[in-house]
Amino acid sequence: MTVVTRFAPSPTGFLHIGGARTALFNWLYARGRGGKMLLRIEDTDRERSTQAAIDAILDGLNWLGIEWDGDAVYQFARAARHREVVEQLLAAGNAYPCYASPEELAQMREAARAQGRAKLYDGRWRDRDPREAPPGVKPAIRLKAPLTGETVIEDQVQGRVIWQNENLDDLVLLRSDGTPTYMLAVVVDDHDMAITHIIRGDDHLTNAARQKQIYDALGWPVPMMAHIPLIHGPDGSKLSKRHGALGVDAYRAMGYLPVALRNYLVRLGWSHGDQEIFSTEEMIAAFDLPQIGRSPARFDFAKLESLNAHYIRQTPDADLLAAVDRFLLYLPDGAALAAKLTPHVRAQWLQSMPSLKERAKTLIDLIDGAHFLLADRPIPLDDKAAALLTPDAKGVLIDISTELAKVEPWTPEATEHAVRAFAERKGAKLGAVAQPLRAALTGRTTSPGIFEVLTVLGKAESLARVADQAGSQSAR
């Protein structure tokens, strides 16, 4: 049997991090078994579904590199089929019209709660003659669910989960306006799409019982189910916007690489021994349902960052620069930065990429680290750099610049030799010379190795930058 999984988001917002993980799990499971992952847009809520949300979800999946097979199925378009199935159920006596008013329903709910009963709807129209229907009232159609016995789900993650049927009331299949409910639509669509494995959030576990009853009434086989625990915020509470329930586009904008996010997500609630780093192929080969944990995981930015730093270091320099190019599209001041990326600057960036990427946890960090390549002379000093350039330090700059002016050819070895020799002659530590130089050259107190910076900048630019800062002393 070919494995067919599905990802079924409702387009009422962006693709959030939990949804992304669900999609990833479905994708990995199908890919690892030569199966397919289908995409279904659950857009039956006409009020809240938007095209913008659909676009955001597809965009998010694409960015993460999660591909679905075939065309996306739109649930709303299948309403006629859903109604047809209800007719079947009605004809077989497995469903019935219910004429209870919203007021009655509210009363039943209140009563049930007051009496501590699980069942909300009391089944008052279950066996009543429809001829007693109040005039002019359109009925909803309810499932005639079993009154006794139990409903059992053999969940691949949660194990065997059992509900007593006496606690489950007759759910609505068709609203009084004739539109299908989610519970019905999901079952019919999963069946028609030949889904073999339903992998979805834990929040659907109780729905699984109701859906099982629909499958049973229809005589359809129930797909394998796997309800994966939800992702929580760092404090253990439900993931909120404040935590990380952001759209995946927000992670993109924060400078995370899709490979890193995928690796982080796959290890959230799933493990494969002690392995932390997975290539896509490794993930696909290793992923399976029994290794999914049953308790909710907390979202931890620090770990995501460390994974991101790892993947940034792993990425070839040219690819990383290409990633920056794409990333600029999602940065507020990206256009201005893009304009600065002349062929000359790109070459410089590429040259210092090996040490720049070692210092970056995100693409934002990477761009920030390249600041000394992007800034115009006289380059602005940050507070620490400004504080470091004391009158004494500026004196050092004047002296070292005459030494550097003599260096030829301008190589890392030659500049290092000159600077070290100078420091030695002055009886100073290397740092006493390197730090003022760094401040003058980069405007910061941290940067790649100073001799590398000198090399990448070139002799003329380096001397000019040193002069910019040293000169401000003579003006004093």
Helix axes 17-31, 258-266, angle to 10 degrees: 80
Residue span binding RNA (CB under 7 A) among the ranges 23-31, 245-253, 372-380, 443-451: 443-451
Return the residues of window 113-132 that contact RNA according to CB under 7 A: 113, 116-118, 120-121
Nearer to RNA, 235 or 344 (CB): 235
Judged by CB under 7 A, does residue 189 bind RNA?
no
Peptide bond into 409 cis (omega under 30): yes
Strand pairing partners for 39?
7
Please select the residue that binds RNA; options are 134, 135, 159, 391, rule is CB under 7 A.
Answer: 159
Please select the residue that binds RNA; options are 451, 463, 469, 470, rule is CB under 7 A.
Answer: 451
CB of 180 to RNA, least distance (A): 7
Return the residues of window 198-227 that contact RNA according to CB under 7 A: 202-207
CB of 241 to RNA, least distance (A): 14
Please select the residue that binds RNA; options are 16, 190, 305, 455, rule is CB under 7 A.
Answer: 305
CB of 324 to RNA, least distance (A): 17
From the list 119, 138, 238, 241, the catalytic residue is 241
CA angle centred on 462, ends 457 and 463, rounded to 5°: 155
Burial group, residue 145, by CB count within 10 angstroms (0-12, 13-18, 19+): buried
Cα–Cα distance for residue pair 260/266, rounded to 1 Å:
10
Cα–Cα distance for residue pair 72/64, rounded to 1 Å:
17
Residue 209's contacts (CB-CB under 8 Å, 6 or more residues apart) are 151, 153, 161, 163, 168
Return the residues of window 64-83 that contact RNA according to CB under 7 A: 75
Judged by CB under 7 A, does residue 309 bind RNA?
yes
Q: How many CB atoms lie within 10 A of CB 34?
A: 8
Strand pairing partners for 40?
73
CB of 43 to RNA, least distance (A): 7
Left if phi > 0, otherwise alpha if psi is -120 to 50, otherwise beta: which for 329?
alpha
Residue span binding RNA (CB under 7 A) among the ranges 54-62, 217-225, 320-328, 434-442: 434-442
Residue span binding RNA (CB under 7 A) among the ranges 64-72, 252-260, 449-457, 460-468: 449-457
b (16+ CB within 10 A) / e for 263-280 = bbbbbbbbebeeeeebee
Please select the residue that binds RNA; options are 51, 148, 295, 474, rule is CB under 7 A.
Answer: 295
Nearest to 124 by CA among 138, 135, 139: 139
Residue 151 is which amino acid? T
Please select the residue that binds RNA; options are 177, 376, 383, 408, rule is CB under 7 A.
Answer: 177
CB of 339 to RNA, least distance (A): 27
Return the residues of window 250-279 that contact RNA according to CB under 7 A: 267-271, 273-274, 276
Left if phi > 0, otherwise alpha if psi is -120 to 50, otherwise beta: which for 429?
beta
Nearer to RNA, 328 or 360 (CB): 360
Cα–Cα distance for residue pair 274/36, rounded to 1 Å:
29
Is 241 tagged catalytic? Answer: yes
Please select the residue that binds RNA; options are 237, 279, 390, 402, rule is CB under 7 A.
Answer: 237
Residue span binding RNA (CB under 7 A) among the ranges 55-63, 252-260, 292-300, 321-329: 292-300
Nearest to 144 by CA among 159, 160, 113, 165: 165
Nearer to RNA, 42 or 190 (CB): 42
Return the residues of window 30-59 that contact RNA according to CB under 7 A: 42-45, 48
CB of 471 to RNA, least distance (A): 22
Nearer to RNA, 272 or 346 (CB): 272
Judged by CB under 7 A, does residue 289 bind RNA?
no
Residue span binding RNA (CB under 7 A) among the ranges 84-92, 391-399, 424-432, 465-473: 424-432
Return the residues of window 353-412 that contact RNA according to CB under 7 A: 355, 358-359
- Residue 288's SS3 state is coil
Number of residues this chain uses to bind RNA (CB under 7 A): 90
Cα–Cα distance for residue pair 216/219, rounded to 1 Å:
5
Nearest to 383 by CA among 459, 293, 446, 289: 446
Nearer to RNA, 33 or 227 (CB): 227
Please select the residue that binds RNA; options are 175, 191, 346, 459, rule is CB under 7 A.
Answer: 175
CB of 440 to RNA, least distance (A): 12
- Residue 133's SS3 state is coil
CB 181 within 8 A of CB 171: yes
**Enzyme catalytic residues:** 241
